[in-house]
């Protein structure tokens, strides 16, 4: 590594995603040969004492309270945006226009207009060799990469139906506090954009298809909650004041897909934080003419594969343990059979992003991919407002 050029990174945000991205920047260069050595230069957050605590905990060299200063700093090469969605467009556009590569958490923005402006900035920047990527980290789970390979090899044939559920239960307790994720101004939407966006992106990534139209419904079950005291993970402690929940708690929608391996398919999607007992169950099932796959993030080292071309009487879902050197990313980790976890996807994300910067390729998912997801989210909201009317995503 010592002969590699350096890539000096500033990261905006220090909550859950800030911790996960820090892990990615720290670990990726220790397990993957990168064309540049990431330097964890500056972590940025508005609260001076908290960002300093995060700096020490996550291993950044400097702490800063104003993101504009890292964008003006010629020593910084990369801006990694982990702050709430309401800040993404302004920071990403300023960073790209200043010639910094940008990795931005999902969903890309809080509005379609914001995401469109980000795509325009990414196109301007691309002309100068500057890269922009959205942080749909689950694309980097090896079982998902392996599933995509099976789809691309035609092992599923024509995909006719998709099911994509993202189920969590951290809001079941109605006295759980408000966090920024429950505030439309900060987050854009609720379960729909925070976790439904992953389900949409994964289906599009796996199939190479686009959701062209949707029919959806949204629900908010608990409209008032205690305001947040101390933030802890996704939730935190409750204060004695109360606030109004302004986002959806659960989103359901059906979709029609076009293009790719699932052209003409229909899909069922669900995103909820009220699926009692389901902690982080992102479940994808693709049913095709030659085979099927099923994935559950709660068993993320496994992929279920059904080969409909196997001899009759021998068919059945096979549980493949995706820990072998033949599987995406796995050759760089542990000896055969040794599992990996949630945080590894963030190291893989950094590896792929740095490869695109140093190798000259176009990083995926692009801001244009993120904009399309944003259009789907907006179409689900319009559909729900119109009584589940079928609504196109463009
Ligand atoms: C980040 O990728 C993220 O979507 C979070 O924002 C969600 O809250 C988390 O549950 C899944 O990951």
Say whether both 115 and 203 belong to one domain. no
Query: Which domain CATH number covers 166?
Result: 3.30.360.10
**Residue 17 CA, closest ligand 1 atom number:** 1
Say whether both 110 and 227 belong to one domain. no
Say whether both 114 and 159 belong to one domain. no
Looking at residues 215-223, what average pLDDT do you find? 98
Instruction: Calculate the CA 149 to chain-centre distance.
Output: 20
Residue-wise pLDDT tens digits, 125-161: 999 999 999 999 999 999 999 999 999 999 999 999 9
Choice from 104, 194, 235 to test ligand 1 binding pocket (greatest atom count within 8 A of CB): 194
- 104 φ, ψ (degrees, to nearest 5): -125, 130
Tell me the pLDDT of the chain averaged across its residues. 97
| pLDDT given at position 9 | 99
| Residue 390 lies inside a defined structural domain of this protein | no
| pLDDT given at position 154 | 98
Say whether both 116 and 57 belong to one domain. yes
Say whether both 46 and 180 belong to one domain. no
Say whether both 127 and 259 belong to one domain. no
Whether residue 284 contacts residue 297, with contact meaning beta carbons closer than 8 Å, is answered with: no
Choice from 144, 165, 195 to test ligand 1 binding pocket (greatest atom count within 8 A of CB): 195
Say whether both 316 and 187 belong to one domain. yes
Say whether both 131 and 157 belong to one domain. no
Looking at residues 43-57, what average pLDDT do you find? 97
Looking at residues 191-204, what average pLDDT do you find? 98
| Domain stop point among 102, 137, 172 | 137
| Percentage with pLDDT > 70 across the chain | 99
Residue-wise pLDDT tens digits, 340-350: 999 999 999 99
**Exposed e or buried b for every residue in 129-150, given b needs 16+ CB within 10 A?**
ebbbbbbbbbbbbbbbbbbbeb
- 173 φ, ψ (degrees, to nearest 5): -70, 115
Looking at residues 102-117, what average pLDDT do you find? 98
Output the residue whose Cα is nearest ligand 1's atom 11: 195
Looking at residues 293-304, what average pLDDT do you find? 98
Q: Is the pLDDT of residue 236 over 90?
A: no
* 234 C-beta closer than 6 A to ligand 1: yes
| pLDDT given at position 4 | 81
Whether residue 262 contacts residue 277, with contact meaning beta carbons closer than 8 Å, is answered with: no
Q: Is the pLDDT of residue 180 over 60?
A: yes
| Residue 392 lies inside a defined structural domain of this protein | no
Q: How confident is the model at residue 229 (pLDDT cuts 50, 70, 90)?
A: confident
* 202 C-beta closer than 6 A to ligand 1: no
Say whether both 62 and 132 belong to one domain. yes
| Residue 147 lies inside a defined structural domain of this protein | yes
Say whether both 81 and 193 belong to one domain. no
| Residue 315 lies inside a defined structural domain of this protein | yes
| pLDDT given at position 1 | 45
| Domain stop point among 137, 165, 200 | 137
Say whether both 111 and 157 belong to one domain. no
**Residue 234 CA, closest ligand 1 atom number:** 8
| Domain stop point among 115, 137, 159 | 137
* 164 C-beta closer than 6 A to ligand 1: no
| Residue 184 lies inside a defined structural domain of this protein | yes
Query: In terms of residue numbers, what domain contains 288?
Result: 141-364+371-385
Q: How far is the CA of 105 from the centre of ligand 1 (A)?
A: 9
Residue-wise pLDDT tens digits, 202-217: 999 999 999 999 999 9
Say whether both 130 and 147 belong to one domain. no
| Percentage with pLDDT > 90 across the chain | 95
Query: Which domain CATH number covers 87?
Result: 3.40.50.720
Count: domains in the chain: 2
| pLDDT given at position 2 | 52
């Amino acid at each position: 590594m010592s002969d590699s050029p350096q890539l000096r990174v500033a990261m905006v945000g220090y909550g859950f995603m800030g911790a996960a991205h820090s892990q990615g920047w720290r670990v990726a260069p220790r397990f993957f040969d990168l064309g540049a050595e990431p330097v964890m230069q500056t972590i940025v957050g508005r609260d001076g004492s908290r960002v300093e605590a995060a700096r020490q905990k996550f291993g950044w060299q400097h702490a800063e309270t104003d993101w504009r200063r890292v964008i003006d700093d010629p020593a910084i090469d990369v801006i990694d945006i982990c702050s709430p969605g309401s800040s993404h467009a302004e920071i990403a556009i300023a960073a790209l226009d200043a010639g910094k590569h940008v990795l931005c958490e999902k969903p890309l923005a809080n509005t379609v207009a914001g995401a469109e402006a980000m795509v325009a900035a990414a196109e301007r920047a691309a002309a100068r060799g500057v890269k922009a990527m959205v942080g749909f980290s689950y694309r980097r789970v090896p079982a998902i990469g392996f599933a995509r390979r099976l789809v691309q090899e035609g092992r599923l044939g024509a995909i006719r139906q998709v099911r994509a559920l993202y189920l969590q239960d951290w809001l079941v307790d109605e006295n759980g506090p408000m966090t920024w994720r429950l505030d439309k101004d900060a987050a854009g939407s609720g379960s729909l954009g925070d976790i439904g966006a992953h389900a949409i992106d994964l289906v599009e990534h796996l199939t190479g298809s686009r959701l062209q139209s949707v029919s959806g419904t949204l629900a908010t079950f608990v409209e008032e909650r205690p305001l947040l005291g101390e933030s802890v993970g996704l939730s935190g402690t409750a204060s004695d004041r109360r606030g109004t929940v302004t986002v959806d708690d659960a989103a359901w929608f059906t979709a029609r897909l076009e293009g790719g391996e699932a052209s003409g398919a229909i899909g069922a999607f669900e995103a909820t934080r009220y699926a009692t007992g389901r902690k982080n169950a992102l479940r994808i099932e693709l049913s095709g003419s030659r085979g099927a796959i099923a994935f559950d993030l709660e068993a993320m080292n496994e992929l279920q594969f059904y080969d409909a071309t196997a001899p009759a009487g021998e068919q059945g879902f096979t549980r493949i343990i995706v820990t072998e050197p033949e599987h995406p990313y796995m050759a760089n980790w542990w000896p055969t059979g040794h599992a990996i976890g949630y945080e590894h996807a963030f190291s893989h994300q950094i590896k792929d992003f740095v490869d695109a910067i140093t190798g000259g390729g176009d990083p995926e998912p692009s801001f244009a991919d993120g904009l399309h997801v944003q259009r789907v989210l907006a179409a689900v909201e319009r559909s729900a407002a119109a009584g589940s009317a079928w609504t196109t995503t463009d």
